[in-house]
């Protein structure tokens, strides 16, 4: 909770200094933005000792769009959206920034991959997501937006989002983090698999007779090998684009991706 004084006093976006704290990440002031200042300092320290986090995620509410979705950061998608004359071969980018939202789209009923965006707009350069990506070097840096209204897809279509659905989304986010950690090269997966089975309970099954190994009914999602940037949308208020997925062999060292912009955050 990075805006305790504002939230306690009923503010939707601003702290008691009257500022949107998610626009202060480039140069936070110790006195006016202490929570941002110290959080950024902690991340800078972790990066300095080479312990930067695998994932950074800011959580916000969105007053206009439905479902739960993410904004992330992509060099290529930003270049494409900006109509800069650069071919895909001119830019190098690991597709790993799409891995977490892709996993969430497969396991969380309230999550919408089609509403996600990974374009870095100039007006969003002072947000946590972009600063942590650009200055701290965290490739998987996101803002997760949760509708203040309801869903227009899946089993919650036409329903209002409530506490139960938000708690379910939180649990599925934890499961997605565990899967992402397994995909990024950790050798001993057993304790992560056991932890995942504790979170998801009856949705697991035992598949090994010699030792107890828990797996999900659905395996990790396949990765996107290439992206058709012409199919992406950088308009956060537009209709979600139809998602196109290419099935590929699993590659634990190169997880996958998706597009960006953001409004109406709650810090």
Are 104 and 171 in contact by the 8 Å Cβ rule? The answer is: no
Q: What are the structure tokens assigned to 224, written together?
A: 């996107």
Q: Residue 157 has what DSSP assignment?
A: B
Q: Of 19, 77, 121, 145, which one is the catalytic site residue? A: 145
145 given a catalytic annotation: yes
3-class DSSP state of 83 = coil
* DSSP-derived secondary structure for 13-81: SB-TTSSBGGG-SSS--TTT-HHHHHHHHHHHHHHHTT---SEEEEEEEESSS-SEEEE---HHHHHHH
Q: How many CA atoms lie within 13 A of 202 on its CB side?
A: 0
Q: What is the largest CA-CA distance in the chain?
A: 61
Residues taking part in catalysis: 145
């Amino acid at each position: 909770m990075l805006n305790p004084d504002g939230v306690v006093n009923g503010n939707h976006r601003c702290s008691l200094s009257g500022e949107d704290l998610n626009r202060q990440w480039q140069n936070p002031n110790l006195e006016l933005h202490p929570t941002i200042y110290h959080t950024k300092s902690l991340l800078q320290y972790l990066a300095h000792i080479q312990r930067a986090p695998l994932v950074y995620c800011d959580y916000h509410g969105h007053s206009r769009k439905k479902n739960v979705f993410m904004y992330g950061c992509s060099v290529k998608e930003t270049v494409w959206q900006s109509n800069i004359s650069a071919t895909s071969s001119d830019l190098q980018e690991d597709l790993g920034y799409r891995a977490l939202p892709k996993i969430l789209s497969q396991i969380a009923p309230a999550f919408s991959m089609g509403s996600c965006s990974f374009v870095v707009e100039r007006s969003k350069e002072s947000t946590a997501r972009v600063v942590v990506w650009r200055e701290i070097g965290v490739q998987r840096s996101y803002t997760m937006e949760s509708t203040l209204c309801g869903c227009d897809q899946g089993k919650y279509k036409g329903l209002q989002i409530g506490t139960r659905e938000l708690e379910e989304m939180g649990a599925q986010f934890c499961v997605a983090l565990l899967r992402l950690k397994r995909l990024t090269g950790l050798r001993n997966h057993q304790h992560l698999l056991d932890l995942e089975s504790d979170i998801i309970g009856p949705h697991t099954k035992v598949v090994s007779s010699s030792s107890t190994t828990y797996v999900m009914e659905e395996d990790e999602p396949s990765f996107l090998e290439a992206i058709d940037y012409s199919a992406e949308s950088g308009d956060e208020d537009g209709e979600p684009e139809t998602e196109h997925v290419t099935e590929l062999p699993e590659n634990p060292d190169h997880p996958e991706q998706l597009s960006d912009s953001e409004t109406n955050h709650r810090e």
